[in-house]
Chains A and B, each alone.
Chain A
Amino acid sequence: EDQVTQSPEALRLQEGESSSLNCSYTVSGLRGLFWYRQDPGKGPEFLFTLYSAGEEKEKERLKATLTKKESFLHITAPKPEDSATYLCAGGRDNYGQNFVFGPGTRLSVLP
């Protein structure tokens, strides 16, 4: 069964304290690995798509990387406004459910 897990479940950082979030996947025929940011009570906001192992993408303080088994979201010198839940999803070709979402990592950045 295809599955995506994320760790840690929650992470508290001091402002400026860099860290990484992990997304492990077992998705047969993975076509893309997607990262989203979700603020409380709002819809997920798209951040990155990674398509092949070794690929990296950056946006401001965030950098996403992909291996054959997992993806990391590295946060460099975070600010309080980076506080959110970060979701990852594995994309597969499927005539129906083509995304498998992980449970998310809840990030809090303290000033």
Chain B
Amino acid sequence: ETGVTQTPRHLVMGMTNKKSLKCEQHLGHNAMYWYKQSAKKPLELMFVYNFKEQTENNSVPSRFSPECPNSSHLFLHLHTLQPEDSALYLCASSQAGTSGTDTQYFGPGTRLTVL
């Protein structure tokens, strides 16, 4: 595997389900990100982890719970979601999460549908 991978690519869940999204980066980076992309809206940053430490929680509802066990893996745990949470969830990584010069590299995304 190369770059940033995400699983699953598609997920359909009910409002009472619990599921998790997984992201893995093979670039040797130290920062990882979760973004939400809804139709016709800019990318919304959700969480940032630098060296496994969470450095940004962009007022995300508690039904989204991130986990970063090491610099290569990032999870997004989902529970009791709402239909408006349906979106494309993107994971990204960069060399350092505090620098404005470091390129962020994105995974292919998980298309989430909440029924």
**Cβ contacts under 8 Å, B6 to chain A:** 43
* B10, closest chain A residue (CB): A41
**Cβ of B109 and Cβ of A42 under 8 Å apart?**
yes
**Cβ contacts under 8 Å, B106 to chain A:** 36, 43-46
**Cβ of B103 and Cβ of A96 under 8 Å apart?**
no
CB neighbors of B among A16-54 (8 A): 29-32, 34, 36, 41-46, 49, 51
CB neighbors of B among A65-99 (8 A): 87, 89-99
**Cβ of A30 and Cβ of B45 under 8 Å apart?**
no
**Cβ of B43 and Cβ of A42 under 8 Å apart?**
no
**Cβ of B103 and Cβ of A34 under 8 Å apart?**
yes
> Hey, which bits of chain A sit against chain B, CB under 8 A?
29-32, 34, 36, 41-46, 49, 51, 87, 89-99, 101-104
